[in-house]
Amino acid sequence: MVLLTGAGLSTDSGIPDYRGPDAPPRTPMTYAEFVSGPAARQRYWARSHVGWTRMGDARPNPGHHAAAALEVRGRIDLLITQNVDGLHEAAGADALALHGRIAEVVCLGCRAVSSRRALQERLTDLNPGYAAAHGAAQVRPDGDVDLDDVAGFRVPDCDCGGVLKPHVVFFGENVPAPRVQRCYDAVEALADRAGALVVAGSSLTVMSGLRFVKRAARLGVPVVIANRGATRGDPHATYRLTTGCSEFLTALAAHPA
């Protein structure tokens, strides 16, 4: 199979999702907003600074471990995740992070990639006591928090003077073409292997994941969707299960191949 996972898989690890049945309305920052000026970046990094420790404390749940077990046993050709939290990798899986990883930072000037943990140390030095003072803020799906009081928060630049951005695909950005092609290739290979595309914990609201479901359906590859709420891919599903990701993947891993 090719397994595509979304934010619903990480809710059992304490990371909320954007579009689950009980999720409040949330508007993520877009790329255009992030690059619009210092005020937007100050707001983003202040929220991220407070939320980073909580994201770092998240641990893989049974669903992540089940996916890793399926991969080890050779039942997954490619594990694609829309999540940026790194929990698949922490569980021992070799996941293709479609939208990148929050653990990395990229400079929009020199394009150097560095550690988010190292940036956290710089943010702490520049803003002593800030995270503790806002520790009650509500966590958001991307590892930041709901926070409006960002006055005075200081944001460092890259050593080259360029703007630092989390190394993830923001709304308004495109997933790198080679990454997308690798996913298409894996889905297309299923047609010759009597395989299936399995989606767990994604509403498939954005095209970055939905396009693989549509490609599978056009090729006659079975599409299995397991998600508590409705998804945009439901019209293309061969099998549709309304269930939790951890329960579904754990049962799948326990089933004899």
d(CA 84, CA 56): 12
Angle at 60 between CA 107 and CA 132, to 5 degrees: 60
Instruction: Assign 58 a pLDDT band (cuts: 50, 70, 90).
Output: confident
Q: What is the mean pLDDT of the chain?
A: 90
Mean pLDDT in residue range 175-193: 96
- Decide if 14 is inside a domain: yes
**With bands split at pLDDT 50, 70 and 90, how would you rate the model's confidence at 185?**
very high
Residue 68 has pLDDT above 60, yes or no: yes
- Give the range of the structural domain holding residue 110, as residue numbers without chain letter: 8-254
- CA–CA separation, 220 vs 13, rounded Å? 34
Would 3 be classed as within a structural domain? Answer: no
Classify residue 160 by burial, with Cβ atoms within 10 Å: 0-12, 13-18, 19+. Answer: exposed
Q: Which of 67-71, 191-195, 220-224 has the lowest mean pLDDT?
A: 191-195
Q: What integer pLDDT is reported at residue 57 of this predicted model?
A: 76
pLDDT band at 140 (very low <50, low <70, confident <90, very high): low
99 is catalytic: yes
Q: Would residue 103 count as lying in a domain?
A: yes
pLDDT score for 51: 83
Binding residues for Zn(2+): 107, 110, 158, 160
Element (H, E) at 79: strand 78-81
pLDDT for residue 15: 81
Residue 200 lies in a domain: yes
Quick check: is 226 in a domain? yes
In a domain, residue 188? The reply is: yes
Q: Is 14 left (phi over 0), alpha (psi -120 to 50) or beta?
A: left
Q: State pLDDT tens for residues 197-254.
A: 999 999 999 999 999 999 999 999 999 999 999 999 999 999 999 999 999 999 999 9
**Binding-site residue ranges:** 107, 110, 158, 160
Number of domains observed in the structure of the chain: 1
CATH number at residue 130: 3.40.50.1220
Tell me whether residue 106 is in a domain: yes
Pick the catalytic residue: 99, 134, 167, 236? 99
Cross-strand pairs, 166: 105
What is the pLDDT, as a whole number, of residue 126?
A: 96
The confidence score (pLDDT) of residue 180 equals 97
Q: Is residue 66 part of a domain?
A: yes
Is residue 24 pLDDT above 80, yes or no?
no
Has residue 1 got a pLDDT over 90?
Answer: yes
pLDDT tens, 79-117? 999 999 999 999 999 999 999 998 999 999 999 999 999
DSSP at 145: B
Sheet holding 164-168, edge to edge: 113-115, 100-107, 164-168
pLDDT at 27 over 90: no
pTM recorded for the entire structure: 0.89
pLDDT at 150: 86
**Exposure of 73 by Cβ count < 10 A (0-12 exposed, 13-18 middle, 19+ buried)?**
exposed
